[in-house]
Each structure stands twice: as structure tokens, then as C-alpha cells.
Amino acid sequence: MALLLRLALAFLVAIDLLVFTAFAATPTDGEELVTFIFGDSLTEVGNNNYLQYSLAKSNYPWYGIDYEGGQATGRFTNGRTIGDIISEKLGIQSPPPYLSLSPNDDRLLKGVNYASGGAGILNDTGIYFIQRLTFDDQINAFGNTTLAIKSKIGEAAANKLLNKAVYFVGIGSNDYVNNYLQPFMVAGQQYSHDEFVELLIATLGNQLTTLHQLGARRVIFHGLGPLGCIPSQRVKSKQGTCLTQVNKWVQQFNSKVQNLVLSLNQHLEGAQFGFADTYQDVQELITSPQAYGFKVSNTSCCNVDTSIGGLCLPNSKVCKNRKDYVFWDAFHPSDAANAVLANKLFTSLFPNAPKNETPTPKTTTPSARNAPKNETPPPETTPSGTNATPPPERTPSARKTLRHS
């Protein structure tokens, strides 16, 4: 285990065309890797359960049906997030949600998850969810965490812990699906996409710089996947195909984030930031599901109504064989898909990790408040079809076509 943890803090990040320098410092035997997670519903583990008026919650069936204990925890999937699985492979506990911790909680020293469903880079993203922790909110919360850690172990030890920790940031999807692509949001009317993506990058640059000022040195930014192919976007096409223009916008965003990361590494002292390009991995799952053991990738396991949010409600019908589906609901991958993606990401980030040292899964995230147990098997629904080779993508001629087709 000590070998695995040493490797984890000395990894070479080599993803696609970007190669990042190895971390110089490695922990001594007995030290445990500390991780801090920022993001949206793809990595949330229950923060929104503690936001009384938030409409972005998943603390009810059928969420969590395949999670430990079969109970909803606030994760937006039927089981584990990618962050959970990476933590399992590192032999560490999946960091608990920030809002479940008090300032004197010793678990702050082992890592925290700040991710919040509906969050975005921009503060007005997901505003119609009423409450969520925007990326700025999450960074402010991390600032509070750093103060709490310093009060516990002293400034010198705290700075060492914060500098050695690994920070996973996965944010930006909602800035598209719950902002720019929504016809009732101002951004889509006010900005061309070139202008919008520049706004995102400028804002993100300031946010990552603030993280650095608070002590973050090893930051991995997860790029966006092909958002034009998720179920919530496919329904905008009359043929149910991917929206090519959305995917092109996502790739433009990813490219600019890569350049931002390189720039930050050059200008921020001690910064060892990396970009994890998972776009192609997700694309392969969608276009060739059978190659990974899936049968359906063009619709979700849970039969959702995208007109009312696309989430899997307690009265929704869910598929019998959940491992056959890439998507759990209209937005989020299934546990099985997360496992495939996490394995690929782990191999890229930690290429020298011995395969025979994968630890037993450990999680400490508290169950969602008042989350009902999934004691009754879910009703079944017949899959709408398989799609080993999906139809070709459709290119909308204009934004209005994108939204209303």
C-alpha cells in the first residue's frame, strides 16, 4: 500500500498531447494521500442534501440502488461516482461532503468533497435550482477548510498537507446544459459561443489561481465529455442523434482549458496542474458500447422525463439490467460506466500502480437526510433498443434548431 501511495504522489500525467512533469515530493511511509474534489453532479456525494431549498437533489430512489446498502446518498447515479472509484483504487476513503463536516472534524485532514449538483464555472449557471454551491462557493468553502486545518495542526504542517494534496476539478458541463443551451437563460442570447467560451476560460483562470493561492499545487482538471450525445441533448434532435455543434463547442472549451493549464503552470509558482482529456473515452463508450460490455448508450436506464429535469424520480421505471446501460438518467453515467471511465483515468494518472494492490472499497459518506431505502426492487422497463452502431451525428444549422428540433 505504501508503494501505491508513493506512486500516486509521484505520477507522470501524460494524457493525449499534454505531458506534465512528475511531482517532486513523495510521502513517507505511513502518509496517506489527501484529495480535495470540486465539481458538479458528476462528482457530488451529498452536499445538496444539506441545502434546504435546492432543487438539484438525488436523495431518493432510485438513486443509490446499487450503492453500498442500496440507499440514496446524494450521488446522481445508481451507484458510485468516478471519484469514489478512484479513491477505492488509491486505498483511501472517498472524501465526505463539505456540508456534512464541522470545522473541528478530524476528517478535514483526509480530504473533502465540495462538488454540488447544478454548479458551474459561472455563478448564474443553474440559478433555477435555487440553491447549489457554485465553483466560487466551493473555493470559498475550501478557504474555510484551510483555516480549520491550520487551527488544528499549525500553519507549517497545514501548508505541507495542502501542497502535497491532489485536487480534482470537474466543472463546466452545467455552464452548457443548464446555462448556454437553455433558451430562457441570458447567456445564449447575449454571447456568441466564441465570446461565451472566453468568458468561461477567463473566469476559470481566476478561480484556479485562487485555489493556488490557498495552497493547491497538484490540480487535475477533468475535461468535458461529448455533451451533445447525452440523453438530455439527444431528445432535441428529431432522429435522437448526437448534436454535433454542441460537441464541437465542448472540444473548443477543452482545447482552451488545456492552454490555460499550461499557462498557469508557467506563471504560478510550484503549480503542477494537469488536464485529463476524457472526451474520447466517453465517446468510445457511446459509439461502441458493446466493446465495453454495454448494450444501450443512446438512452438512459431510468425512463426519465426531460421536460421536468431529466432526473430519475421515485415513480420512474428503471431497467432490469442496469449494467447494460451507459447512462443512468438523462445526464449522468451509470455505475458500470463510471467504473470503465475511472479505470481508464486511473491508468492514465497512475500508470505504474501495481494492479495487484487495488484495495478494498472504502466509503464514509453519510447517508442522505431522510433518504428512503430502496427496499423494493424497481419496476422494469423494456429497453428501447440497442445501438452497437448509432446513427450519424446531426449538425444543427443554428442555435434555434439545436434547441427546438
Q: Is 281 exposed, middle or buried (0-12, 13-18, 19+ CB in 10 A)?
A: middle
Higher-scoring residue by pLDDT: 350, 52: 52
Q: Where are the domains of the chain?
A: 33-280+338-379
Question: Over the stretch 336-383, which tens digit does the pLDDT of each residue have?
Answer: 999 999 999 999 888 876 553 433 333 333 333 333 343 344 444 434
pLDDT at 367: 38
Question: Over the stretch 266-302, which tens digit does the pLDDT of each residue have?
Answer: 999 999 999 999 999 999 999 999 999 999 999 999 9
Closest CA to 12 of 272, 342, 339: 272
Joined grid coordinates for residue 161: 498537507
- What are phi and psi for residue 301, nearest 5 degrees? -60, -45
Coil, helix or strand for 193?
Answer: helix
d(CA 332, CA 64): 13
Q: Grid coordinates 423494456 are at which residue?
A: 382
User: Which positions are catalytic?
Assistant: 41, 329, 332
Q: Is 331 exposed, middle or buried (0-12, 13-18, 19+ CB in 10 A)?
A: buried
d(CA 369, CA 229): 33
In sequence order, what are the residues at sequence separation of 6 or more whose Cβ sits closer than 8 angstroms to the Cβ of residue 213?
none
Which CATH architecture best describes the domain 33-280+338-379?
Answer: 3-Layer(aba) Sandwich (3.40)
pLDDT at 373: 40
pLDDT at 381: 41
The pTM (predicted TM-score) of the whole model is 0.84
As a whole number, the mean pLDDT across the chain is: 85
d(CA 12, CA 270): 16
pLDDT at 32: 85
Least confident of 87-101, 242-256, 341-355: 341-355
User: Quick one: average pLDDT of 238-264?
Assistant: 98
pLDDT at 304: 86
Question: Over the stretch 156-167, which tens digit does the pLDDT of each residue have?
Answer: 999 999 999 999
